[in-house]
Amino acid sequence: MTITSDPNLWVICGLVFLLGLLIGAFLTAGGRRKWKARYRDETTRREALERQHEQHIRDAEAREKEWRERDSLRAAAVKDRRDEGDPL
């Protein structure tokens, strides 16, 4: 008895296949929407964090630029005082 000659075996294989499809559909019912929603939430959260990180970097660069300007002005003021002969 082979699989090609027994019609009962074909019916059993078909029913097992249909049962597998039904169980698979039952297990993923609503699950597709859940993972898509979680993925979208994760994507928006990541983009928000990236924007926040870029803002922090810009702020740090602006502060550093301001500190460098202050240091150069302070050095110029000290140099002017030394040139004029004023004691510190």
pLDDT of residue 6: 80
Under DSSP, the state recorded for 77 is H
Domain of 74 in residue numbering reads as 56-88
pLDDT of residue 37: 86
Mean pLDDT per block of 10 residues along the chain (88 residues) reads 77 94 82 80 97 97 95 86 66
Q: Is residue 31 part of a domain?
A: no
pLDDT of residue 32: 67
Under DSSP, the state recorded for 5 is T
Residue 30, by phi and psi: left (phi above 0), alpha (psi -120 to 50) or beta? left
Rounded CA separation 46/54 (Å): 12
Q: Is residue 13 part of a domain?
A: no
The pTM score is 0.51
What is the count of structural domains for the chain? 1
Q: Is residue 72 part of a domain?
A: yes
pLDDT of residue 15: 95
